[in-house]
Structure formats: C-alpha cells, structure tokens
Structure 1
Amino acid sequence: MGWICRQELLRPSVGLVTVEHHLCERTPITSLLIGMTIFVTLSMLYYLSQWKFDPLLIESKEVATVVLMLDSPEEEILAKACDAIYKYASKAFERHPKKRLNRLMVPDNVMMKSQHISFPTTWHGGDENKVTLLGLGAVQRLYKLISHENPVVRRNAIMIFGIMASNQDVKKLLRELNVTSSLLSRLVPEEDVVIHEFATLCLAHMAVEYTTKAQIFEQGGLEPLISLLGSPDPDVTKNSVECIYLLVQDFQSRAAVCELNVIPPLLDLLKSEYPVIQLLALKTLEVISKDRETRIILGENQGLDHLLTILETEEFSDLHVEALAVLGNCLEDADTMQLIQQTGGLKKLLSFVGVSTVPDIQKNAAKAIARAACDSENRKILNEENVESCLINLLEIDDDGVKVAASQAISAMCENVASKRAFGLQGIPQLVQLLSSDDEEVKEAAVMALANLTTASQSNASAVAEAEGIKPLVETLNAERHGAIANAATVLTNMAMQEPLRLSIQSHGVMSVLTEPLRSTSSQVQSRAALTVAAFGCDADARSELRNAGGLEPLVELLHSKDREVRRNACWAVMVCASDELTAVELCRLGAIDILEEINQSTARRNNFSEAALERLLDNNLSQKYSQMGYLSSSNVITDGFYDYGKIKPGVKLPSLEELSMQELTDRRAIIFVSTKTQEDVLAIEEKPRRVSYELATLSPLTSRRSSREISSVRKWKGKKEEEKLKEVAEILSEVQDEINLEDAQWQPPPDYMLMNYINDASKTILPLTTTREQVVALAQFVADKMGGAIERDELHNFSWELHISEIEFELKSNVVPIGKVKKGTFCHRALLFKVIADRLGIGCSLVRGEYNRAWNEVKLVDDSPQGVTGLLLPPQEYIVDLMFVPGFLMKQGSAEADQYKYI
C-alpha cells in the first residue's frame, strides 16, 4: 500500500482530492503513515525548490557557442560573452603606456559569479577571426546590444563594433543595418568615454566609403564629432578628427564644417602632444582650406601664425610637409599673400625651402608657389621676393618629384613678364637638360615650362636653341605622354616664328616625326601637331618631307575631327601645305576638297581657315575651281592640263582629263582642254636627268664606284668651288626627279600645236604694245579673229558653233577637244582662250562663268589723268572685255552694256 501511495503521489495527476480520498478509506494507522509520507515529500519538494547551483566554470572551445550566448536574457552572461568575443576579434591589444588605446571589455570591479568563459590560446587573429564572427551571425546579435539598457553591455557591444569595422564585409553589413544612426546617438556627453572612443573608431572605419559619408552627414553627425575634438581622451580626439578628415573629402561636408566653426578646435589640436593627432588636424585643414571662405576664417583665427610656427620648429619636422600644403592653399588669395609678405612670412617660407633638404618639403613648397601663381597679384608679389631663383635651384635637386613641381611652378609664373624674362636668362638650360630624363613625368613638366616660356618671347625661343634644345624637343615628339608631345610641338611652333630657327629645326627632320603625332588619339596632340605643320609648311622642302613621310593622309583625316580646335588647325595646315602643286594634288587625291566643301556647307563646322584652305587647294587645281566656283582670278594662271568640264555642284567629284578622254563619244557638251607641251618637251625632260647624271659623273668620275667613306676623303681635298658645284648639281637632279615623278603620275594630253602658234603670234604682235589697255584691246581682236570674228548681236542665234564643235568631237572620236581646234567659238570658248594667252603674256585678267554658255573676262585698267592735271594717280577701274560683238571694246563693270554682254 505504501508503494501504491508513493506512486500515486509522484504521478503528475495526483492532487489534493486524490490524497483526501485515500485518507478516508484507510484505517487510522494507515492514514498516519500516509500523512507522514506526504509531509516528508512536501518538505523535500520545498527544499529542492530553494536549492541553487554553485558557480559553474565552463570552458568553451567553440566560438559559435559564445555567439549563441549573445541571445541570453542575463546581462552578466552578455557582458562576459562580449568580453570573450572582443578578445577573439582584436587578439587582446596591449595597452598604450600613455593612452588607453585598447581596454579590457569588463572592468576589474565587475564580478561574474555565474560562469566563466575562456577560449583556447591557439587563435588565428586578424580578419580571419572577424570573418568567422560575421559568418556566425555575431554582427546582427551585437547590433541589438548597442542600444541595450545596461551600460556595460552597451559599451562592450560598441567596442566590438569598433574593432570589427575594419573588415570590408563587416562594414558592408553595418551599412545595411544602418548602424551609424545608433552610433551617433551615443556621442552625447552623458555616455562613457569608452563608448565615445569605439563609436568614433567604428565611424572612422566606415567613413572611408562614400555611402557612409552621406549617411553621417544626413544624420547630423558632424556636430557631435566636432564637439568631441575637445575630449580629454586622446583616443576619442584621434578617432573624431580622422572621421572628420574623411567626411570633408565630400564638398557638402566641407561647406558644413565651416558653419559649425571647426577651425578653432582644429588649430588647438596642432598643440597636441600626440603627432598623429597633429597630423590628422593638418590634413583636415589642408582639405577644407581649398575653399576661400575657410581660408578667410583660418586667417581670422591666426591660423597662418600656427603654420609658420610649425615650419620654424625643428621638433615638428615630421609635420612640415602637411603644414606647407595648408599654407599653399592659403597663398592662393592675394590678401593672404600680402599679409604674409608684410609680416615677413613669405621671405621666411622661401628661405626655409632654400635650406631644406627634404624632397617632400621642397615639392610641396613648389606646389604652393604654383597654386599661388594662378593669381596675377600673387605673381607680382612672388617676383618681388625673387621666387625665380628658388625655383631654378629646385630644378637641380636630385628628386624627380621636386623637378616636376618646380617645372610646374615655373610654368605658372611665366604669366608674369618679368618672371618669364628671368627664367629665360637662367632656367632654360636646366629645363632643356630635363628633356633627356628617363622619367616621363619630368619630361612632360619641363617641356610644358618651355612652352610657356617661349610663347610670345623670341629671346626665350632663341635661348632654347642656344641651349641645344632642338634635338631633344624633336625627340620628345615621340614621347609616351600626350602632354609632353603637345607641349614639345608648341615649343617648336614658337621657335619656327624665326626663320633661322625654323630652318635649323627642319634640318632635324621635324616634319617626318610629326607624322605619328598627327595620328594620335589625343585631341590636344592632334591640334598642336597640326599647328606645327602649319608653322613649318611654308617651306617647300618641309612640305616635300611631310609628303614623302606619308603625313598628308593623317592630316586630311583630322579634317573630319569633331573637335573645333583640331579641325581649325588642320584646315590651317592644309591651307599652308597646298602652296605647291605637288602637295595640292596629293591633298586632292586624298579627298581634302570634298571634306572642306562639306565643312564649309555647315555653319557650325565652318571656320576662316576652311574656306581659305579650299580656295588654296582649288588654286592648284584650276579645273576643279572653275567648274565648281565658275571664277578664276588674275593670280590663277592657267597651265597645261587645264580643262573646262562645265559647271558642277559642290560635293560632286570632277573626273580627271584622262578618265574623260577614255570615255566614248556622247552628246554632252565638249570638254575644252589646254596643252602647249610638245613631244619634244617631254623627251627633253626625260633627257635632263641623264645629262645631269653625266655632269655629276664627269665632275667626280670615281664617285659612283666609291664608298661613302672614300667619297668623304675625296671631298676633303676638292676645292670649295667644286663642292658648291656638286651641291648645285644635286639640287638640280632632285628638282628634275620631282618633275619626272609628276609627269609619270599624271596622264599627259596630246599637244595642241595650233594653240602654240596662237601664243607665238600673239607674243610677236601684242607684247610690243606700250600700254596694258592697248594690249588688252589687241588681244581681244586677236582672239575674236581666231574664233569666227565679230558677230552681229541679232545674228547670234545663227552662229552655228555647236555644229562646229560636234564635228571636231566626231573627228577626234572623243568629247575632249583642244581649244586650238575651235575655229567657231562662242562666249565661253573665246573667254577661255583670252585668259590662256593673257596668262602667257603677263596680262592680268580674270575668267568668269555665267549662265547659258556665257563667260567673260575682267581686267583692271588705270584711266588717263584729266587734262591739265599731272601726277594724279587714279585707282584702277574694272572692265569687261567684249570678244563677241565689238572685239576689243571695254565696258565698265556695272554698266548697262556690261550687264547686257554678261546676261541674255
């Protein structure tokens, strides 16, 4: 029965009702036993409920176990778990002797009675541990704890974030959790200084990313961070100023910190006993002092005095570079520059740079001068302090960075005329030497300085040549950096303004070297190279060199450029290079005329040089010009090979005379061509090189069989006259070869013997006449007589010149007709013949095409002085020459008879 009672009592379903039921059914003894059993059982249950475990020491070898403890509701467990995680993440940094850089998570007076947690000593620290914690979900759990009500738990969680935020993946997750707002809310004076330290440390780690910078700014984080610059704890100060330094990289924060009066606390930090804080303060000042408003506030707070004090203190030598950077920003303002000059600070600064042997200091000083020299007033002040000598001395420092900075400062100071003159007298030889540097950046900076020095300064351009700078400049056109190539081209262009220098540069093969810069992908290089071609293209030898080197093709390609400056300079270069027929023909072959016509039809792309270039090309292709523009000026001399194709529209390609001669006979208008060269002339040209070669061989019979060394030896004992003759013969041979090349390149039309007779007869009868007026009248009558004589105006429609031309075409089985064969010609034929003969006789006249086969010649003649007036020089008058109705009659331009002659 006792067993039954014990079982009943131990069953969960046993209640008071069941016990009372058993008591009623049993005897008094049984009831007593049951009662005693119940009493003992209840007593045991009571004592069991009051029993507590003694402190239990747990050693966990798994970090995952400790991470799970972060979910515990017990504050002591949370604090101790955070302590272990902090050590695991940070590898238990040692305490700094002067600063509490890293603290233990749990203070000494906190006793953890319930449990003790420890990790094994074989840890793998660094980012690996942080990544492990991240994978176990520690960051999400800790994020809940940074706002915990218990200050110890809250502090410990923030400390872990301060350590773990150095990991990129952790930072990414913290951004997603928007932890910045929680951290910023803890930067209040009421919070513990440890929270301030690690919260600012976490923010400093995260502020490297632009997204976090924006979050901190938008959440008002600048103000609490600035307030913490005055914290008594150096760690808090260091982290806060570092965070501010990262934030002010963004222009919004840079403007906001000025309004929050950040300058005074930053200047106070320059007095800190910790170099890292001073350095971060200077770096922050360097960034924010790029804004003029900040520089004004800095001056008002005696910031310049602080900076000069640092530069004068040898103990702060490790801060001199950053102090110079801040001072360099301040020197950009003319008011600040004047203030520093008046107080003697500028002289001290230049003296400091002169005696310093630290390259970084010298480099930053040169950069400061370069920035200051952007203002004209500053340049004047710097010149008064003889800054040129300081910069020239820096060019000789054996450090490439210093040389670059000094060259850039010289470039900036060149805007001052006095400085440019001073550098020209002393600095150009040093800059020329830097062109041979192996460092491309040094070479680029040096040639940029030379470009500014030689601009609008012939004396400096001559100084570059005297310093033997031509060869390295030409070699720099093959440099790696686009800036070096562009500026080298500029220097050569500046030097080319003087003919002796231009010829000297040309002797170094500059036009051949320019071929590659013309093909550059840099618009700056393309523009400068084209401008250099324009500068040297005025010389026939230079044009020949460019043509032979294949430089015309990339030059024509630049006409397609979308860059306005490149297009303009390319047009300029084409205009200059089209001065000779050989180059003009090649440019036309490459399609320059079509491109220029397209440019000139666009109001947006057209420029002054595009129109001039097209006209210059057409001046060397008169057939194209007359067909397209319908006008040849008195300076457009018609030569052999000219042909009148008729009027064509712009953009339509004119077929060559060779192509037209190969076409079958059609019913279109005849193509009238001009040719006065006989077969004997062609044979004579072919014979000339043989004669010249014979002369050369006669002059030096052993030359053809001797080596170059033997030739050189022979020339040493030959007389000066013989040397000059050799040179002259070689030049003649070169010219003849060019003529032969042209003859071979172009198809030659058959000779027009009748036209040759016309020219000979006209020369005999017209040239003896004393006045131009008489010559014009006589030539008009001569032309009319050769082309059918005078025609009555009313009988013009009966003048069957079309049938006559058709008969000639049928006879020649070609649409191409020599003008000498035309015996019955109308306006267009007579005007062309008049122009051809007048050009041979030296009579200036123009040829103008009208509508419906009308054409006429315009001449300028000076009228006789009025009677009784001697010595009066009247301006020339323009006349239209009548070749049809009253041959030789001169009609004033604009008169009724002139208009009647020109139009139907």
Structure 2
Amino acid sequence: MFESAQPITVTAKLLNVFSVLFEDSSALESIDVTTIIPRILHIATNYAEDVGPIYDGTGKTNRTRTAQGSSRRIRSKTTTKRDPNLEKSYLPEIQCNCCKILQKISQYEKYTQILILNGVEKRLLDLLSKTSDISVQIAAARAISVCARNNSVQLRLTSLGGVGEFARLLKIDNSESRSTALAALAQLTRENAIACRELKRAPNTLPQLVACLKGPEVDVLNALSIVSELSNDDKAREDLHHFDIVPSIVEALSSDSKRILESLALTLPRVIVTDHEVESFEQTGGMVGLLKCLKSPCLKVRNAGAFASALLSENALAARLLYDSGALEYLCLMKSAEDHHSPQVDVAIRNMLDSNVLLKFAMTGVLDFSDITGDLFYDVGRLKASERLKGLECYANETRLQTMPVWLLNIREPGTDEPPAFTLPVDVRLRSFLKSVIEKVNAFEDLKEKVLNLAKEVADFFGGPITRQEAFGCVDWQAVAKYRCLHSTNIVPIGLPIRAGYRHRALLFKFIADKLRIFSTCVCGEYSIAYNVICTKKSTETPQSYVVNLMDSPGALYVTDSKEASQYCRI
C-alpha cells in the first residue's frame, strides 16, 4: 500500500479513499497506523523511490517493512515508467490528502508520540515553506494547527520558525489561507511567550492581525486568542494600540455572535490596562459595548462581561466609567439571580464600590478600615442599584422638602470647591471642633485612650450621652427645614444639628478617626442603627476588634462578638 513503484494515479485514489475513511474514528482502530504515518509523511514531502525510515513507537527504527518483516525491499516485477507531467498534476491532490489524513490522526493523543518520532512538525513545515500551491499550504497549515495542540510539537514548531511561516501565510490575499494561518498561530502562541515574541517581530503582522478582528466569526475568535496572548507583554500591547486595536474591538462588540462577545469580554482586561487605554476604550464607545455583554440573554456572555468588569474595575478610572455607564445596576441584577451568577459579579461590584467611598457608603451603608473619607464627604442616604449617585451641585438644587437632606462633612478651605461656580456651605462649627479634638486626642499615646476621648468628644458635639429611645427623635428637623429654605439647598452641614443620634455620630467618628489615623469602620445597619468598629494591636497581643459606644456610655469598648456589642448594634 502506498508503494512508490505503483502508478501515481493509484496512490492518489488510495489517499483520497483513506482521507474519507478516516472520518470514522473506528477505521483508525483497524489499521496499522504506525506503518501509515511514515509513509504518508514521505509521500507528502518527498514522492521518491525510498520511503525513508519508519518509527513505529516501539523504539526500533526500520527501513521500509514488507509483509514478512524483512528490511529488504521487494520490488515489483513489472515496473511502471514514471511520468513527470502526470506526477506534477496529481502531486497537489496527493499532498492535500496526506495532510488531511495526518490532521485526522493528530486528533488522537495516543498517536502523538509516533507522529513526533517521525518528525511530523518538521516534515509539514518543510512542505508549507517549499510548496507554491495554495491548497497544499492550507492543508499543511491545518494539519500543523492540530499537531500544535501538543506542547512538545508546539515548542518544536516555534524553534523551527513556524511562526514566521504562518505570519507569511497570514498576509496572502486569500481568505482561506488567512483563516488557516490564524488558527495555527492561535495554537502556536497559546501560553508560549517565545512564539508571541517571534510574532511581534514579524514585519507588518500586527496590523494584519488587528484587521482580522473585522472578519468572519472563526477569524475573530482566533485573532482574539492571539491578541490575548500577545497582550501579556506590555510592549506588544502598546504596539497593538498603536495599530488602533481599540476601535476594532469596539466594532466587534456590536456583533450578534455570542461566541465573539464572550471571547471579547474575556480578552478585554488584558488589552485595556492603563488610564490612557481606558480613556480610549470609553471614547470609542467601549463601555456601551461591555454593557451589552452584561445585558445579554446568554449566561456565558453575561458571566464573561462580569469577568471583564471585575478586572477592568481594578483601575479606578475604569471603575468610575463603568458605574457611569450603568454597569452596576446590571451586575446587581445578576447577583440577585444567585443560582446563576458568576463569582466575578461580586468582585466587579466590590471593585466598583471600593473605587468610590461616597458610592460605597450610599449603596451599602458601610465604610471599611481602608475607606478614607478625606476632607469632603457627604451622606445621601441609601441608594438603590437603579439610582445614580450625583454630584453635590445636583443635590444642592433639589430643594424639595419631602426628600431627606444630604449631610455634608466639609473641612476644605474656602475657594477650593469644584466647580468654581458652585460654593459649598462652610461648616464653621465642624472646622473649629475638628481642630480642637485633634489636639486633645493626639495628647494621648495609647490607642484605647485616643478612642475613648474621641468618642466622648463626638458624643458631646451632638448633645452628650443619650439613650436609645432618645436617639430616634433627637434631631431638630424644624431647624434643618429652616436652613434648607433659607439657603434654597438640600445640602445641610453635619454640624447644624445640636443633637443627633446613631448615624450622625458614627459618621463623624469615622471622619475624624481617618484624620487621626485611627483605623475604623462605619456601619449603618437596620432601623437607623449605626456603629463603629476599631482594631487594636500591640506587639505582645493578637489583634482585637471592638465596637465603640457613642450613645449612652461614650467611649465604652465592646469586643465585637460579645453580648454587649450585639445589643449596641441591633434593636
């Protein structure tokens, strides 16, 4: 079978039969593949008298075997004269069928070692580089892309210059050869930094790769796989941006293909990293495209969108732009479907909130140890996911008395407000109190002493110790309403009320503790209950967290899991 002495027409027909026969995996089981592989490789790459050495996977190397196992070749008694013109006409068909057979055999892992021993990667790469027939090039490239799924073959192909060959094939003005080259490069660059480096060096390859993002689905998917691997290198990622990859990605985000949208979303965090790249992505409509993934009816696309949001939102600018685009609302909707949502949904929401302490407090009612309030903070009450956090200028113009006031903590110097045309209320009482309390508290060395005195000062600022029952009705709402009407604003300085309860005290404690570098939390719980937690640690003791009493016994500290802490934090 496949003897070089037989007419080339017979060989061509036999190969065609085998390429069809091997569509059925059971056919491979009934044939001695160890004999077939070297003969097929020989015919594909060098149709001559000698078939070449055979490696059968047993560790033995034989010349062409006969049915009796002899190394001596049995020649046909009747010799057919070879016709060079006939061979030339049939050779492309023969080589294509050989490549198809090798491609099908390569799909089975148990034959991989035999293929490697027979130098499949070198033989096929030689065929690809030497043939001028485009159909043979395509067939060889397809076989190589399947073989390259094996890591050893992948690395061997890289060392033999396979990346350069496929980069050349990528630039041919033929859609089929381009698709085949992309598929092969996607396999070669998979977790292969050397191949990525070689591809980046290939002349005019990156712009061609970016252009493939506008092609058919299979080309886009393979191009995205390559882009994802290339983007692990900062310089390669910068080069991709130089060739305008962002507009191509954004255009692809308008696709109706679920597979493209999923792959794009998974690739985005590798391509969009720096603030400049985030800005470029936003300016070309990328955030709107990502929002499309989060709104998709396909679960895989939604989860991929959540994955992209989670990683992108590690960048503070991206987190803000994602929130502005409305991503948080859809992430919260995904979270509500607890049996379906990806864990990345929680990460995306957390990153988005962590990037904006004002938003985090409005959405969750929680400020953690790492959340620093700064010199300007305001409390708008609890926001729903469908509601948006607005700027102070917008809240100032909401003069409807049926809305809750926005409580302002502002110690900025007058004239530093933004925008310049909008002037925030100056809280003279808060500024004076802050200066005084910092001096008093800093006089103590021990952290617990500092917390005790700060708690007493905050309680005195809001009318001194009060009981739980008094706390819920102690604010003089008439004075607050008068201020809002007088100044035509919905923003009220937190220092305006002479008496206040849980929320005001807990928020002011956190605000001042941040200035004193006392790490604390502020948690607004159920039924207007709010409390602070501090964490203490000495070199000789383990960390211990305490709930701080700001109400009936200011300065008292309760271990967080104690009965007293539970009573203070809950009704």
Q: Per the alignment, do residues 388 and 753 of structure 1 end up closer, same or farther by CA in structure 2, a change over 3 Å counting?
A: farther
Greater shift, 505-514 or 610-619, is seen at: 505-514
Q: Per the alignment, do residues 813 and 526 of structure 1 end up closer, same or farther by CA in structure 2, a change over 3 Å counting?
A: same
- Aligned counterpart for 1:316 among listed residues 10, 13, 17: 10
- Aligned counterpart for 1:412 among listed residues 141, 146, 151: 146
**Which amino acid is the alignment partner of residue 340 of structure 1?**
V
1:340 paired to 2:33? yes
In 2, Cα distance between equivalents of 1:326 and 1:309: 20
In 2, Cα distance between equivalents of 1:499 and 1:607: 29
Cα displacement (A) at 1:834: 2.0
In 2, Cα distance between equivalents of 1:842 and 1:661: 31
In 2, Cα distance between equivalents of 1:459 and 1:811: 70
Any residues of structure 2 matched to 1:755-794 within 5 Å, and which?
755-757=430-432, 759-761=434-436, 764-766=439-441, 770=445, 772-791=447-466
Deviations 1:685-718 (A, max 9, x none): xxxxxxxxxxxxxxxxxxxxxxxxxxxxxxxxxx
Q: Is the 8 A contact 2:438 2:516 kept in 1?
A: yes
Cα displacement (A) at 1:312: 4.6
Any residues of structure 2 matched to 1:827-838 within 5 Å, and which?
827-838=502-513
Any residues of structure 2 matched to 1:749-760 within 5 Å, and which?
749-750=424-425, 752=427, 754-757=429-432, 759-760=434-435
**Which amino acid is the alignment partner of residue 220 of structure 2?**
I
Cα displacement (A) at 1:590: 2.0
1:432 paired to 2:163? no
**Which amino acid is the alignment partner of residue 378 of structure 1?**
Y
Matched residue, 1:567: 302
Q: Per the alignment, do residues 557 and 751 of structure 1 end up closer, same or farther by CA in structure 2, a change over 3 Å counting?
A: farther
Deviations 1:189-232 (A, max 9, x none): xxxxxxxxxxxxxxxxxxxxxxxxxxxxxxxxxxxxxxxxxxxx
The structure showing larger relative contact order (alpha-carbon pairs under 8 Å, at least 6 residues apart) is: 2
Deviations 1:373-399 (A, max 9, x none): 111112222112110012212332323
Q: Is the 8 A contact 2:310 2:348 kept in 1?
A: yes
Any residues of structure 2 matched to 1:604-619 within 5 Å, and which?
604-619=339-354
Any residues of structure 2 matched to 1:66-105 within 5 Å, and which?
none
Q: Per the alignment, do residues 625 and 795 of structure 1 end up closer, same or farther by CA in structure 2, a change over 3 Å counting?
A: closer
1:363 paired to 2:96? yes
Cα displacement (A) at 1:613: 1.3
- Aligned counterpart for 1:540 among listed residues 260, 275, 291: 275
Any residues of structure 2 matched to 1:618-767 within 5 Å, and which?
618-639=353-374, 642-653=377-388, 657-681=392-416, 749-750=424-425, 752=427, 754-757=429-432, 759-761=434-436, 764-766=439-441
SS of 2:558 mapped into structure 1: strand
The answer for unaligned runs of 5 or more in structure 2 is 48-87
1:809 paired to 2:484? yes
SS of 1:681 mapped into structure 2: coil
Q: Per the alignment, do residues 379 and 613 of structure 1 end up closer, same or farther by CA in structure 2, a change over 3 Å counting?
A: same
Cα displacement (A) at 1:559: 0.7
- Aligned counterpart for 1:354 among listed residues 28, 32, 45: 45
**Which amino acid is the alignment partner of residue 464 of structure 2?**
G
**Which amino acid is the alignment partner of residue 853 of structure 1?**
S
Q: Per the alignment, do residues 431 and 676 of structure 1 end up closer, same or farther by CA in structure 2, a change over 3 Å counting?
A: farther
Matched residue, 2:560: 893
Q: Is the 8 A contact 1:787 1:822 kept in 2?
A: yes
Q: Per the alignment, do residues 332 and 859 of structure 1 end up closer, same or farther by CA in structure 2, a change over 3 Å counting?
A: farther
Cα displacement (A) at 1:348: 1.6
Cα displacement (A) at 1:770: 4.6
Cα displacement (A) at 1:785: 3.4
Q: Is the 8 A contact 1:526 1:566 kept in 2?
A: yes
1:376 paired to 2:109? yes
**Which amino acid is the alignment partner of residue 535 of structure 2?**
K
Matched residue, 1:111: none
Matched residue, 1:325: 19
Cα displacement (A) at 1:896: 1.7
- Aligned counterpart for 1:593 among listed residues 321, 324, 328: 328
Q: Is the 8 A contact 2:45 2:124 kept in 1?
A: no
Cα displacement (A) at 1:593: 1.4
In 2, Cα distance between equivalents of 1:605 and 1:834: 40
In 1, Cα distance between equivalents of 2:455 and 2:244: 51
In 2, Cα distance between equivalents of 1:401 and 1:608: 46
Matched residue, 1:577: 312
Cα displacement (A) at 1:888: 2.7
Matched residue, 1:133: none
In 2, Cα distance between equivalents of 1:772 and 1:411: 65
Matched residue, 2:184: 449
Q: Per the alignment, do residues 383 and 841 of structure 1 end up closer, same or farther by CA in structure 2, a change over 3 Å counting?
A: farther
Q: Is the 8 A contact 1:320 1:361 kept in 2?
A: no
In 2, Cα distance between equivalents of 1:836 and 1:882: 16
Q: Which protein is richer in helix relative to its size? A: 1
Matched residue, 1:491: 226
Any residues of structure 2 matched to 1:283-302 within 5 Å, and which?
none
In 2, Cα distance between equivalents of 1:882 and 1:319: 91
- The TM-score, its normalising length taken from structure 1, stands at 0.53
Matched residue, 2:259: 524
Deviations 1:427-469 (A, max 9, x none): 1111122222222222222122222222233333333234357
In 2, Cα distance between equivalents of 1:750 and 1:401: 76
Over the residues paired in the alignment, what is the CA RMSD in angstroms?
Answer: 3.2
SS of 2:531 mapped into structure 1: strand
In 1, Cα distance between equivalents of 2:273 and 2:397: 37
Any residues of structure 2 matched to 1:59-458 within 5 Å, and which?
305=1, 308=2, 312-316=6-10, 319=13, 322-326=16-20, 328-329=22-23, 335=29, 339-341=32-34, 344-355=35-46, 358-396=91-129, 397-426=131-160, 427-458=162-193
Cα displacement (A) at 1:409: 1.9
Q: Is the 8 A contact 2:401 2:481 kept in 1?
A: no
- Aligned counterpart for 1:846 among listed residues 521, 546, 561: 521
Cα displacement (A) at 1:351: 0.7
Cα displacement (A) at 1:350: 0.3
**Which amino acid is the alignment partner of residue 384 of structure 1?**
L
In 1, Cα distance between equivalents of 2:259 and 2:502: 52
Deviations 1:669-690 (A, max 9, x none): 322134444453358xxxxxxx
Cα displacement (A) at 1:368: 1.7
Cα displacement (A) at 1:805: 3.8
Deviations 1:788-827 (A, max 9, x none): 3333567657744545544543443433212243443211
The answer for unaligned runs of 5 or more in structure 1 is 1-304, 684-742, 866-872
Q: Per the alignment, do residues 826 and 496 of structure 1 end up closer, same or farther by CA in structure 2, a change over 3 Å counting?
A: same
In 1, Cα distance between equivalents of 2:409 and 2:132: 70
Cα displacement (A) at 1:757: 4.9
Q: Is the 8 A contact 1:435 1:472 kept in 2?
A: no
In 2, Cα distance between equivalents of 1:314 and 1:850: 85
Matched residue, 1:166: none
Q: Per the alignment, do residues 510 and 767 of structure 1 end up closer, same or farther by CA in structure 2, a change over 3 Å counting?
A: farther
- The TM-score, its normalising length taken from structure 2, stands at 0.82
Q: Is the 8 A contact 1:631 1:848 kept in 2?
A: yes
In 1, Cα distance between equivalents of 2:530 and 2:396: 24
Q: Per the alignment, do residues 488 and 798 of structure 1 end up closer, same or farther by CA in structure 2, a change over 3 Å counting?
A: closer
Q: Per the alignment, do residues 805 and 826 of structure 1 end up closer, same or farther by CA in structure 2, a change over 3 Å counting?
A: farther
